[in-house]
Chain A
């Protein structure tokens, strides 16, 4: 049980794919303009990382070593396409907003990295918890960036929740201010600024708590 918890916490916190390893930054910066967009991408990424890594772990004995990377990409692409279809079918409005970035989940180094380093060498249970931890870590990064950017840019939280949670979420929007303090936060330059400040906060916290940074070659040394 301890090893499961350790696998999870290491993947989610110590080796957080975004804040510690700086992986998956393209969708992280592009989609986190609002919290709901961020949650949408986080759910999609979670499904892909868990589904593909568990599938790779289950098939690890029959995946030819020489062709393992094409096989990994094929499996990840399959789960990404499934996610895209399900989003288009059941969350169409959200799909219109974030479709491009859901489709490029297939190229996310975070997912391929865990497949190569962990899923292809470990059993299904350990892989599941590692993938769950990785997904939670990415979700944590997306949600934190989404919250800060939405408040700064629009002065709201959970705007457009109905696009993800249906008509019951029509009144979920929390209006914190009449207008955002920093409208730039809604755009790409603002995303870089806010993400940079959050990176700095995370690094400060790490040094304060004396958490060692991830090894620079952790992706290939596990």
Chain B
């Protein structure tokens, strides 16, 4: 019995060492990749590069005078959906992209701009229009998540800039 327990501990320990070693080896490149990907997405939404001194990992970043980005999470059909919301003050417009989701492929993944152009057609709409967007048939929960993200982002932007 003791021998079996020791064997299991040894196997678990070996697996743990392999995983920790790989994590240490890959942590920095993964962080850089994720940051580059997030910067590219933000730049594509804004139509201009994001200044290097801005920390894009903050929940809200940018300037109240010009534009603000916000990371926000709402409940989707298959778990949390991560959104990146851009508010441009002068035009009072909002642009929204999905950064992370597990919505059903072919039904709820129309919100993902890499798979469907649906969300890009709403670029430049006013925040209120995003918050009242029509349901997409068969994906009510997913559309609700988008409306909730737009509403929460509007509130947070106002609080942040007051």
Q: Using a CB–CB distance below 8 Å, which chain A residues touch chain B?
A: 55, 59, 62-64, 66-67, 71, 74-75, 77-79, 81-82, 85-86, 88-90, 92
A78 lies within 8 A of B18 (CB): yes
Interface size on B, residues (CB 8 A): 18
- Known pairs A64-B4, A64-B8, A85-B23 / 18 extra A-B pairs, C-beta < 8 Å: A55-B14, A62-B11, A63-B7, A67-B8, A71-B11, A74-B15, A75-B11, A75-B15, A78-B18, A81-B19, A82-B22, A85-B26, A86-B22, A86-B26, A88-B26, A89-B25, A89-B26, A90-B26
| Chain B proximity of A111: nearest CB distance (Å) | 15
Is B29 interfacial (CB-CB < 8 Å)? Answer: yes
B15 lies within 8 A of A78 (CB): yes
10 tightest A-B CB contacts, nearest first: A89-B26, A89-B29, A78-B15, A92-B33, A64-B4, A82-B22, A62-B7, A85-B26, A89-B30, A88-B30
Interface on chain B toward A: helix, strand, loop, or mixed SS?
helix
Number of contacts between A and B (CB, 8 Å)?
Answer: 49
Q: Using a CB–CB distance below 8 Å, which chain B residues touch chain A?
A: 4, 7-8, 10-12, 14-15, 18-19, 22-23, 25-26, 29-30, 33, 37
Nearest B-chain residue to A78, judged by Cβ: B15
B11 lies within 8 A of A63 (CB): yes
B7 lies within 8 A of A74 (CB): no
Contacts of B10 in A (CB 8 A): 62
Nearest A-chain residue to B102, judged by Cβ: A100
Contacts of A66 in B (CB 8 A): 4
| Chain B proximity of A22: nearest CB distance (Å) | 23
A88-B4 CB under 8 A given contacts A62-B11, A75-B15, A82-B22: no
